[in-house]
Chain A
Amino acid sequence: APAVVTAQSPTVLKMQTSWPSSDIFQDMAKQYVERVEAMSGGRLKIDLLPAGAVVGAFQVQDACHDGIIDAAHTVPVYWYGKHKAASLFGTGPVWGGSATNLLAWIHKGGGQEFYRELTQDILGLNVVGFFGFPMPAQPLGWFKKEIAGAGDVNGLKYRTVGLAADLMQAMGMRVTQLPGGEIVPAMERGVIDAFEFNNPTSDMRFGAQDVAKNYMLSSYHQASESFEFIFNKDRFERLDKDLQAILRYAVESASTANTALALDQYSADLQKLQKESGVKVVRTPSEVLNKQLEAWDKLIPQLEGDAFMKRVMDSQRAWTERTVFYQLMNDPDYKLAFNHYFPSKIAL
């Protein structure tokens, strides 16, 4: 290249997500990109690509490590085949805290350092990563028949991914592994009786309401997840310090924007599912949730067999015990207030 100083031309990063362009997660990734570009005054541009544009949805971490893409917008559960500890960053045991609480653990409770140790030291990956957007808990999913009690889940053929597969299996379900595109046809064919995906908006855009009419909300299988923003470490460290800071803190900024978008869109789509598609929206009975906790009890000792995972879970338990005690003691009963102003909306 000629030795002309091209101060005006922006640095362009290629970021691929694990989502199709139609998914609301892609819109959320866009919110991040907009913030980065605005904060950097146009010095930094992000070329945002959907899943499959360069590599498959599950391959973004490898691609980031190799530098085929500079950055990725994904979730750790997609690389849990490399180390089961990946699931502890969002889809592990639910100790009593929300996704917001777990995100706080990542920021202040030592999670970020555990994540760095796992990706860089244990797996030897050339990546840096940040977490943002504490997701609303993922629903138990879509069922052909409503789940009224703990007995109803026995023997159900159910589709999920990651550690949730182990969990649901421990609950007595028969977990079937299917790629995303096969879920709806598989439901139609009776290959599976039920499945979970992510949230009302993604599930609706995906066509879940065409193959099942019972939508069970609340579950402990993926209840504290956040987005993972990964960067190729060399590429990241080559950037000016201020641009590095922008990439990092825009994650925090996008987190709030994502939450607002999610609350607006998820709730609107949940109503749409009820009113326009005749979907029955039900809360998972506490009997089933208890069974899930018992299933976690069976899994946790197995997971603790790994020294690193034991350390992470010890840290999470200590964090939760202190912070959630404070939260639960401190929080007013929001349900009470909601029922006061919007009576008989929720029957519990």
Chain B
Amino acid sequence: MSDPQVALLMLGSFLFVILLGFPIAFTLMAMGVGFGYYAYYDAERMRTIFDNRIFDLFVNQTYSVMANDVLTAVPLFLFMGYVVERANIVDRLFHTIFIAARRLPGSMAIAALITCALFATATGIVGAVVTLMGLLAFPAMLKARYDTSFASGVICAGGTLGILIPPSIMLIVYAATSGVSIVRLYAGALLPGLMLAGLYLVYVVIRAVLQPSVAPKPRDEDIGDVPIGKLMVMLATSFLPLAVLILSVLGAILFGLATPSEAAAIGALGGLVLAAAYGSLTWDRLRQSVYLTVRTSAMVCWLFVGSWTFSSVFSYLGGEGVITEFVTGLDLTPLQFLLLAQLIIFLLGWPLEWSEIIIIFVPIFLPLLPHFGIDPLFFGILIALNLQTSFLTPPMAMSAYYLKGIAPPHVQLVQIFKGCMPFLFLVFLSMILLYMFPQIAYFLPNLVYGQ
């Protein structure tokens, strides 16, 4: 059996093992170590059974997750989320939006999507956004009798926007890999990101109109008769404070005052202030927020420990080599190449994460770009759009896993995947639109930095 075949076996057996329901983080770790033991087996170093380099790689990857300055924002944003959640604002907030927008089709999904996009923009970290919104908006939608799949799709797709809409870590890594200026890339990705968010919103409205059962309108007895004056007061007391908190976190990043971690810390502090203002900052609630933060952070970050080890062994075995040979052996037009490249990135997005894809696979395509006359900036934004799907496609559907990890127990992974499907198609649609109208990407960078 050749190494790439072993890599495919590794992937295949992971798909099977995942069905058995063992915690995914440890499954990934063990399979990474197990297959890595084979991959790194070197008879000449074996004095004891521990003389295998996979162990060193494993610890190295673990330390990389621990010392990852980007992931530091995860617990901070979670803490902010738990504090805000415990301040009893969220129930009021969703209730208010529910009422304010009750005449609109799919009103709560719209509110959730907009909040998702805003949070995503602020954090740029999918895990934090999906978990946070999974904690804030998801139960509210279920309570409003939304279809579980539909609500899951909204949260997963909305939360994933964080790696696309700047400031985004993925764009920074792409900039470092491709040499495209990061500020241009930021400017270039902003409109495509907003366009995709817009497509999501349009879809949600149309779906709610055509199939009201997935996003039912509230029954009158659920809401009662709310006069406009009372609604205004409700908006001012529940929507406004949180909107100010979120917008100041967002503003701090966008207007250049703080890094995402710093903005998250300020946001958590703001959450504490807000909770105090609502008179709900008790010792017990603070304690609960702290303990839930550590559990959810551990869930998210141990998954990183597992997936980084797994992915590096998969790459080491050359599981992707098959794909590479496939590309180079063909005589293609630029459009064919672009389609093929994006197809491969899409397929790689099933088992791998964006970081491996950008760091290891994108460099394979980059030297081919001048040959086909494709601008690396444009190519990067297409990839950024495309990699939205990598969070939503099994087996490594991180967004779905994050949501699964914090969702009520009755929510199944299958339901979440089903809900993500329509959003996958919207991603493809946005890529087609971007290809047909490249000005969507070029308008802002050209405006700000010139041609």
Contact = CB atoms under 8 A, between A and B. Distances in A.
B177 to A, nearest CB: 5
A234 B45 contact: yes
Given A22-B178, A67-B45, A185 B167 contact: yes
B17 to A, nearest CB: 25
Contacts of B177: 20-22, 50
A188 B185 CA distance: 14
A221 B371 CA distance: 40
Contacts of B184: 207, 210
Contacts of A234: 45
A236 interface: no
Contacts of B256: 185, 188-190
Given A50-B177, A189-B258, A206-B179, A66 B56 contact: yes
B374 interface: no
A281 interface: no
A252 interface: no
A182 interface: yes
A-side interface size class: 20 to 34
B56 A21 contact: no
Given A53-B359, A56-B64, A191 B259 contact: yes
Given A59-B60, A182-B259, A210-B183, A54 B316 contact: yes
Interface string A54-78: 1110010011001110000000000
Contacts of B10: none
Nearest to B355: A52
Interface stretch (B81-89, B168-176, B218-226): B168-176
A15 interface: no
Contact of B44 (A20, A190, A238): A238
A189 B256 CA distance: 4
Contacts of A63: 56-57, 60
Contacts of B360: 53
A211 B366 CA distance: 25
Given A189-B256, A207-B181, A210-B181, A181 B173 contact: yes
B312 A54 contact: yes
Contacts of A20: 176-177, 179
B45 A55 contact: no
A79 B64 CA distance: 15
Contacts of B45: 67, 234
A181 B355 CA distance: 14
Contacts of A83: none
A55 B60 contact: yes
Contact of B176 (A180, A188, A210, A238): A180
A50 B173 contact: no
B257 interface: yes
A54 B173 contact: no
A21 B60 contact: no
Nearest to A190: B256
A68 B63 CA distance: 15
B259 A207 contact: no
B53 interface: yes
Contact of B179 (A181, A188, A205): A205
Interface string A204-224: 011100110000000000000
Given A184-B182, A207-B182, A68 B60 contact: yes
B334 interface: no
Interface string B227-258: 00000000000000000000000000000111
Contacts of A55: 57, 60-61, 64
Interface string B415-438: 000000000000000000000000
B69 interface: yes
B359 A62 contact: no
B12 interface: no
A181 B175 contact: yes
B57 A21 contact: no
A56 B70 CA distance: 14
Given A22-B176, A181-B173, A66 B363 contact: no
Nearest to B52: A67
A179 B69 contact: yes
Interface in B55-82: 56-57, 60-61, 63-64, 69
Contact of A21 (B167, B172, B183, B366): B366
Contacts of A62: 56, 60
B256 to A, nearest CB: 3
Given A55-B64, A66-B60, 14 more contacts: A20-B177, A53-B360, A68-B53, A181-B173, A182-B69, A185-B167, A185-B256, A185-B259, A186-B259, A188-B256, A189-B257, A205-B179, A207-B182, A210-B181
CB-based closest 6 A-B pairs: A189-B256, A207-B181, A22-B179, A66-B56, A205-B179, A21-B363
6 contacts: A63-B56, A66-B53, A68-B53, A68-B60, A206-B175, A207-B184
